[in-house]
Chain A
Amino acid sequence: MSAAAAIEFDCVGYARGGSTILREVSLRVEPGETVVLLGRSGAGKSTALRMVNGLIQPSSGRVLVNGVATAAQDAIRLKRSCGYVIQEIGLFPHFTAGQNVGLVPRLEGWPPARIAERTAELLGQVGLDPAVYGRRYPRDLSGGQRQRVAIARALAADPAILLFDEPFGALDPITRAEMQRQFLELRKSLHKTALFVTHDVREALRLASRIALVDAGRVAVVCRPEEFRRTEHAAAREILAAAGELP
């Protein structure tokens, strides 16, 4: 038996309202790697992601985080041990950027001085001057700045696992490329385990240690980005061709 994966899907199925969304999904995410769940809208990627921090429980099979089934873990502890980034709307509009970032430390009962220090450190890390942006509300930030705040918020309590649900989906192409560059830099410096959902094959090729192609509720292909370009799987060829990534 090998060492525990950071995240493991063990024959996971999920059905809701009579329709099957995931079937027999098995996938291991090793500590420190970034696995991108790639697929079309409605393929079941986000559903799989939301099982990791226990927002959804599988209908069959198990999801294990650090070797322990999510169903057997304390729901709130599990959620706080996973950073979670969704599209920009997920920031709290009545909190400043700084308050958004400091939220999980505050929930964890850190002393205010340590929260302030951590918040400033994180805003700096994602390229926002804390003196300028810390007191602004989300509505006074650009889309890219909001997304940086969301990433800083997910990193706040230093979780081992980061979950990204189409985090750059609403950004313009230039901001998106800039955010991807930032993501790669953070990955290099922080060594976190990440599960990243996107429908953008180029984003997947750029960011992934490994790509898991989700097609109609199943994991169709799991491979490294350079292998993904050469795969013969029909769904993979289709998604590559649609993005103009096939020769």
Chain B
Amino acid sequence: MRSDIAQQMAELTGEHVLLVLISVGIAVALALPAGIWMAHHSRARPWLAGFANVVQTIPSLALFGFLIPIPLIGGIGARTAIVALVLYALLPVLRGTLAGILSVDGAIRESAVAMGMNGWQLLTMVELPLAARNILAGIRVATVSTIGTATIAAAIGAGGLGVFIFQGIASVDTTQILAGAVPAALLALVADGLLGVVERRLAAT
């Protein structure tokens, strides 16, 4: 019985980590280019930032619910949950990228252009390295909050540590709630700590 629970906990933690990695990965793949584009096109900024802000204000349980009837991305299961988690993770990464690139000093950018860098070299050799700390801070916020939000994904059958929490609530079993909540909190702390170390590494160079 004990080992049953331990094994289930390991499985659910694995599912949880996978949900978070996939969601944050997709969010970074979308928000990083979008943030770079926004940094270079000031007119697009209010639109994209507005969209990401509005998404952030939708309660997570409601967003999961809204997505279920939508064809292709909806339905019951992990796919729907990932769509919702990606939407939530977009804003912090977008903000970090935008703030990072906009913080690059105009004199440095001009001196890069005057050295004969083309647009791609300016981006990859100057803007992104100097924005790296901000971008990473955004990814860190997105990761930690996604670990929390992903527990709710169990409500639409996506699995993860939320399974324990919802079962515990249904059967008024505090132990079971804790079996989901404690590992989720630990995951968040570990992710925060690891990404914090990377962030400080970047600051040191």
User: Which A residues lie at the B interface, using CB under 8 A?
Assistant: 53, 55, 76-77, 79-80, 82, 84, 86-87, 89-94, 103-104, 107, 153
Contact = CB atoms under 8 A, between A and B. Distances in A.
Interface of B: 105, 107-108, 110-118, 121, 126, 129-130, 205
A107 to B, nearest CB: 6
Contacts of A77: 116
Contacts of A90: 107-108, 110-111
Nearest to A104: B115
Contacts of B130: 93-94
A87 B115 CA distance: 15
Contact of A79 (B105, B116, B205): B116
Contact of A84 (B108, B115, B121, B126): B115
B113 A55 contact: yes
Given A94-B129, A94-B130, A76 B116 contact: yes
Contacts of A104: 115-116
Contacts of A87: 107
B129 A80 contact: no
B112 A92 contact: yes
Contacts of B113: 55, 79
B104 to A, nearest CB: 10
Nearest to B118: A76
A153 B112 CA distance: 12
Nearest to B112: A92
B107 A107 contact: no
A80 B112 CA distance: 11
